[in-house]
Amino acid sequence: MKVMKFGGTSVGKPERMKEVAQLITKDNDRKIVVLSALSGTTNALVEISNHLANGDRSSAKQVIEKLHDHYQNFIQELLVTDVARNQAKGIINEHFEFLHIILRISFSEALNKDILAQGELMSTKLFSAFLEENNIDHVLLPALEFMTIDANEEPQLGSIKIKLAQLLKKHSDKNILITQGYICKNARGEVDNLKRGGSDYTASLIAAASKSAVCEIWTDIDGMHNNDPRIVNKTVAIEQLSFDEAAELAYFGAKILHPTCIWPAQQENVPVKLLNTMQPEAAGTVITKEAGSVGVKAVAAKDGIIAIKIKSSRMLLAYGFLRKVFEVFEKYKTSIDMITTSEVAVSVTIDTDQFLPQIVKELEPFGTVDIEKEQTIVSIVGNEIAKTDYVLQKLFESLKEIPITMVSYGGSTHNITLLVPSSHKIKTLQLLNSGLFGL
Ligand code: ADP
Ligand code: ASP
Ligand code: MG
């Protein structure tokens, strides 16, 4: 068994979708094919939801109509026969009818999740219609029948395993099983999702649940690059990463992977491959238990970070101080990314301001609290990086002109983390590209 996940750009144009059909029929291995929504769809659905949340129905209607046109054109190019085109028209009309109905009912968070689910529901059904037209035997597995999250929004791997095994048994005569990425059911039994970019997470969860031989993530680039290719000109694909390195890069901003999508594959030791739909013969990146080589592999950046500094002379020689500080963050379910301490101060970073006023208020009795917003975490990742000669020297030499806010080093053997003002992010990534990689 293997998992093949295709992202938005891989299914975003009719000719791309046809290429996906070729890729999944290249061998006779049994496979679960996970699809994202057509590129641009989830963004449009978010826009519709936002308009409705603001009570702006006419703007929501405009976006719905534009999206509907896009899908009408898409099926004309994807399919050839009248029978298939009519079937596909029926599929999209049903989903757009739903979107028109929601214009008339009151907006809620549950409805928002229903709206966001339409993209993956449509892409999988349209792909299935294409396979049917081309006599490619397959079955559609509804993700909502097996992909679940608990009350803390954590995927329930145990139950996913059981439900998926039942479905795989039920369809034991099928070699190609298609399912939706991103969408799931929550603890209340409502439609929910695994957050933006969550189709990667779906793929990894399915790969772990079915103990697949490999989890292939097909996208629009030939693997994980050493730096953000959207920002830095010269970047190169990395041949091999360990699960830890890949998880770190994904969590700290490498957009190619969903932030938490590595752990399920890692837990069941399923290799993850990052491959390029537009260049299928490229080697891509292989992510396994072994790191392959020692040294710096890549840098990634995560925006929207807030630094909180708590200064107190009472911290001197006082035990229990850090516990009290951490308890505040725990109370507000806000996770801390970076932390540095000195004798009289502790600085931490968080990536959401949802409970910032409450957190600050509860920290104030401990000392002076300073907040710095609009910060970016820059993470330098590589196996045994902390032990590699000259990395720190090269790092700080190349960043002489950057006003670094925080540094975290030695917490793990494969990561050095810096905090810089977001206004210096581009320059930092560029300088590191030449300073650390000579590119
Ligand atoms: P998909 O729609 O297939 O899920 P994404 O847009 O989520 O694709 O991820 C692929 C994109 O991630 C690439 O086009 C690239 O611009 C961006 N990206 C950001 N950082 C990296 C990196 N370090 N390596 C490769 N791609 C990256
Ligand atoms: N369609 C969803 C998104 O755009 C999930 C995904 O593509 O991974 O976020
Ligand atoms: Mg993605």
Strands 336-341 and 406-409 turn out to be unpaired
User: What's the pLDDT tens digit per position in 370-407?
Assistant: 999 999 999 999 988 877 768 889 999 999 999 999 99
Contact 230, 301 (CB under 8 A): no
Residue 362 has pLDDT above 80, yes or no: yes
Report the distance separating Cα 222 and Cα 219, nearest Å: 8
Residue 105 CA, distance from chain mean position = 31
- Tokens linked to 426: 């581009």
Residue 410 has pLDDT above 80, yes or no: no
Q: In the chain, what percentage of residues exceed pLDDT 90?
A: 90
Distance (Å) from CA 153 to ligand 2 centroid: 17
Question: Confidence class of residue 349 from pLDDT cuts 50, 70 and 90?
Answer: very high
Q: Is 240 helix (H, G, I), strand (E, B) or coil?
A: strand
Report the distance separating Cα 375 and Cα 119, nearest Å: 33
Of 90, 70, 177, 170, residue with least CA distance to 131:
177
Residue 425 has pLDDT above 70, yes or no: yes
Residue 252 CA, distance from chain mean position = 11
Question: Confidence class of residue 293 from pLDDT cuts 50, 70 and 90?
Answer: confident
Pocket test for ligand 2, best of 36, 219, 258, 261 (most atoms within 8 A of CB): 36
Of 404, 405, 410, 376, residue with least CA distance to 391:
410
Tell me if 382 CB under 6 Å of ligand 1: no
Report the distance separating Cα 201 and Cα 34, nearest Å: 10
Kindly give the number of the ligand 2 atom that is closest to the alpha carbon of 196.
Answer: 9
Q: Is 393 helix (H, G, I), strand (E, B) or coil?
A: helix
Question: Confidence class of residue 313 from pLDDT cuts 50, 70 and 90?
Answer: confident
Contact 326, 336 (CB under 8 A): yes
Q: Which helix (H) or strand (E) holds 14?
A: helix 14-24
Residues 87-96 have a mean pLDDT of 98
Q: What share of the chain is helix, strand, coil (3-state, %, to 5)?
A: 45, 20, 35
Contact 121, 199 (CB under 8 A): no
Residue 136 has pLDDT above 80, yes or no: yes
- Tokens linked to 125: 């059904």
Q: Is 56 helix (H, G, I), strand (E, B) or coil?
A: coil
Give the residue whose CA is nearest to atom 8 of ligand 2. Answer: 197
**Other Cβ atoms within 10 Å of 424 Cβ, number:** 19
User: What's the pLDDT tens digit per position in 169-207?
Assistant: 999 999 999 999 999 999 999 999 999 999 999 999 999
Report the distance separating Cα 17 and Cα 24, nearest Å: 11
Residue 315 has pLDDT above 70, yes or no: no
pLDDT at residue 162, rounded to an integer: 98
Which of 38-47, 338-347, 365-374 shows the lowest per-residue confidence on average (mean pLDDT)? 338-347
Q: Is 52 helix (H, G, I), strand (E, B) or coil?
A: helix
Tell me if 155 CB under 6 Å of ligand 2: no
Q: Is the overall model pTM greater than 0.85, yes or no?
A: yes
DSSP structure class, residue 309: E
24-43 per-residue burial string, b: 16 or more CB within 10 A, e: under 16: bbeeeebbbbbbbbbbebbe
Mean pLDDT of the chain: 95
Distance (Å) from CA 189 to ligand 1 centroid: 32
Strands 415-421 and 345-350 turn out to be unpaired
Tell me if 8 CB under 6 Å of ligand 1: yes
pLDDT at residue 303, rounded to an integer: 97
User: What's the pLDDT tens digit per position in 250-264?
Assistant: 999 999 999 999 999
Strands 298-311 and 368-381 turn out to be antiparallel
Sequence-distant (≥ 6) Cβ neighbours of residue 283 within 8 angstroms = 222, 223, 237, 239
DSSP structure class, residue 284: -
Going along the chain from its start, the domains and CATH numbers come out as 2-220 (3.40.1160.10), 297-437 (3.30.2130.10)
User: What's the pLDDT tens digit per position in 146-176?
Assistant: 999 999 999 999 999 999 999 999 999 999 9
Give the burial class of 198: count Cβ atoms within 10 A of its Cβ; 0-12 exposed, 13-18 middle, 19 or more buried. buried
Token pair 């590119």 is found at 439
> Considering every ligand atom, which ligand is closest to the CA of 298?
1
Residue 272 has pLDDT above 70, yes or no: yes
Strands 415-421 and 368-381 turn out to be antiparallel
Distance (Å) from CA 38 to ligand 1 centroid: 15
Of 33, 3, 34, 1, residue with least CA distance to 216:
3
Sequence-distant (≥ 6) Cβ neighbours of residue 281 within 8 angstroms = none
- Tokens linked to 27: 């061998």
Report the distance separating Cα 114 and Cα 139, nearest Å: 23
pLDDT at residue 317, rounded to an integer: 61
User: What's the pLDDT tens digit per position in 3-32?
Assistant: 999 999 999 999 999 999 999 999 999 999
Distance (Å) from CA 73 to ligand 2 centroid: 21
Distance (Å) from CA 255 to ligand 1 centroid: 5
pLDDT at residue 388, rounded to an integer: 72
